[in-house]
Amino acid sequence: MTIILGIETSCDETAAAVVVDGRRILSNVVFTQEELHQSYGGVVPEVAARQHLVGILPAVERALHDSGVALEDLDAVAVSHGPGLAGSLLVGVNAAKGIAFARGLRLVGVNHLEGHIYANWLLHDAVRGDRSAQRRPPQFPMVCLIVSGGHTELVLMAEHGSYRLLGRTRDDAAGEAFDKAARMLGLGYPGGPAIERAAERAPSRRGHAAPPAAFQLTRPWLRGTYDFSFSGLKTAVLRLAESQRAPVKATGRAPTTRPSDVLGSVPVSGPEQAPLWVTELAASFQQAVVDVLVGKTVSAAAEFRARQIALAGGVAANRLLREQLSAQARAPVICPPIPLCTDNAAMVAAAAYYRLEAGEVAGWDLDVNPNLRLPYTNSGAC
């Protein structure tokens, strides 16, 4: 039995967890900084780093307490050392080093993206409220769609630790596109959940109306590649949002020939109060992003005869993406339960277990690497 303390501070969640044999969660503590960054409309790196400093030891203490495991029972300490925000990563790496050094424990440096992938190895029933226990480990070869705030990568995994890059975003990451579109629509931060909630209120999604033709967005297919591009969609949302708002600003009321006639006027903050045109635009944007992510992932899984498809990263929490990928893929789709899609430390401990199995231990000179990549066997996207 290998008991690992995982630590995660790469962005705006201060997290610690205790995991047995890379799969069984004994505790999983996440202190989110969401509220702190909300007023800025995004993560402020220095504020995030300082908040990690405040939260990291309480998070570790709580994780050990909740797990019933004492420091001397641990086998290793694992920590995300990149990619992410340098100042944030430093807090986690230094805390992990201190604990490992003081207790003579092995230290494992984990790639944050590998952590997201290995959230798929964690047993579901350990998460309160989720009854869909999934006991069999994921099967290789596996096509994995990593969709987070900073990354969108389609990867073929032949075995533990073996990654072939099939495609990646050429501009914005999917999560970044959600965050930017949400800001343009006045929906607040973080954008993914806000767009999702707003889209659920769209009359066309609820079967009450046809989707407004003006809001039909072109899908950026980049045919012949497994690459993605989301910046055009973001710009399209901006233009449409401006066209909805401008006449209101000028005349104090909506024009008579645009979708806002029927749907509402200027947006106020938050998905629950958003006017109907915002909900329709959010739904249309979400559908366009999901269509491309699903289309490419399904094709890659077929081409590479994947036995499974895995979703990973914060955007994997998106219900439409989960549903449509499962509905369209031939291979079985696995995805972590929603709380394990966004940043957490259980996924770090899970990835570390397989690194330890392969004999990989970090030295005391472990550094952070804000641009750390997965160790791809090929040099770039096809």
For ligand KG4, which residue of 114, 179, 280, 291 counts as binding (CB under 6 A)? 179
Say if CB 345 and CB 15 are below 8 A apart: yes
Asked if 318 interacts with ligand KG4 (CB under 6 A), we say yes
Pairing of strands 24-32, 142-147: unpaired
The nearer residue to ligand KG4, 178 or 215, going by C-beta atoms, is 178
Q: How far is the CB of 321 from ligand KG4 (least distance, A)?
A: 7
Number of residues that bind Zn ion (CB under 5 A): 2
Q: How far is the CB of 169 from Zn ion (least distance, A)?
A: 15
Q: How far is the CB of 173 from ligand KG4 (least distance, A)?
A: 7
For ligand KG4, which residue of 175, 186, 259, 267 counts as binding (CB under 6 A)? 175
192 touches, from Zn ion, ligand KG4, none (C-beta below 5 to 8 Å by class): ligand KG4
291 touches, from Zn ion, ligand KG4, none (C-beta below 5 to 8 Å by class): none
* Rounded Cα distance, 265 and 274, in Å: 9
Q: How far is the CB of 208 from ligand KG4 (least distance, A)?
A: 23
Say if CB 28 and CB 17 are below 8 A apart: yes
Q: How far is the CB of 257 from ligand KG4 (least distance, A)?
A: 32
**Pattern 143-172, ligand KG4, x by CB under 6 A:** -----xxx----------------------
Asked if 12 interacts with Zn ion (CB under 5 A), we say no
For ligand KG4, which residue of 92, 109, 186, 193 counts as binding (CB under 6 A)? 193
Q: How far is the CB of 314 from ligand KG4 (least distance, A)?
A: 2
- Binding to ligand KG4 (CB under 6 A): which residues in 76-115? none
Asked if 313 interacts with ligand KG4 (CB under 6 A), we say yes
* Rounded Cα distance, 85 and 9, in Å: 9
The nearer residue to Zn ion, 113 or 274, going by C-beta atoms, is 113
- Binding to Zn ion (CB under 5 A): which residues in 324-343? 343
Q: How far is the CB of 113 from Zn ion (least distance, A)?
A: 7
Q: How far is the CB of 287 from ligand KG4 (least distance, A)?
A: 12
- Binding to ligand KG4 (CB under 6 A): which residues in 2-41? 11
Q: Residue 318 burial by CB count (10 A; 0-12/13-18/19+): exposed, middle or buried?
A: buried
315 touches, from Zn ion, ligand KG4, none (C-beta below 5 to 8 Å by class): ligand KG4
Q: Name the site residues for ligand KG4 (rule: CB under 6 A).
A: 11, 116, 148-150, 175, 178-179, 190-193, 196, 313-315, 317-318, 342-343
